[in-house]
Amino acid sequence: PTLQDLATASLEEVNQLWSGLGYYSRGRRLQEGAQKVVEELGGHMPRTAETLQQLLPGVGRYTAAAIASIAFGQATGVVDGNVLRVLCRVRAIGADPSNTFVSHHLWSLAQQLVDPAQPGDFSQAAMELGATVCTPQHPLCSHCPVQSLCQAHQRVSLPGEEVFRGPSE
């Protein structure tokens, strides 16, 4: 129920509560992060993407940005696989997103697009859009709320043609 409870729980208790969710290493890392916050940071959770990534073990760029955006309202762009696909399609970017330059560009684009008034809602909406509508195979373009802005959709000239899939799809 609290950060302190998580920090003081045994790994067995954490795994029992995590049961069925899979990725047990995530439960362990979550507990390690809670322990660090309680023991080394005086119980004060880092509140920015930068400090989350710097201070918490196992927290990378995406996780730090998602936590900062959703939990703490920081206007920071979030890029996971789903958001990457949405950005590539909306901007008709066919380049390899694993390329350092392209990855940097996509993170910069996400930062430009995030709604500073509601960054958490925006981030969750972008992730959900990629997970449910702008899917890797058979995207539901006719149900897409950003269809009018989507450059990939605009490139489709005839009904039934394949939509621009973006990199590695």
From first to last of its 169 residues, the chain has per-residue pLDDT tens of: 899 999 999 988 988 888 887 777 888 888 999 999 999 999 999 999 999 999 998 899 999 999 999 999 999 999 999 999 999 999 999 999 889 999 999 999 999 999 999 999 999 999 999 999 999 999 999 999 999 999 999 887 445 545 555 555 5
What's domain 3-72's superfamily in CATH?
Hypothetical protein; domain 2 (1.10.340.30)
Closest CA to 89 of 158, 137, 159, 160: 137
How far is 19 from 47, CA to CA, in rounded Å?
28
Measuring CA to CA, which residue among 15, 35, 33 is closest to residue 24?
A: 15
The encoded tokens of residue 53 equal 């990534």
> Which token pair is 159?
């009904």
Boundaries of CATH 1.10.340.30 in the chain? 3-72
pTM: 0.82
Which residue in the block uniquely carries the two structure tokens 């969710």?
21
**Cα atoms in the 13 Å half-sphere on the side-chain side of 131:** 8
- Region 81-155: CATH code: 1.10.1670.10
- Locate CATH 1.10.1670.10 in the chain: 81-155
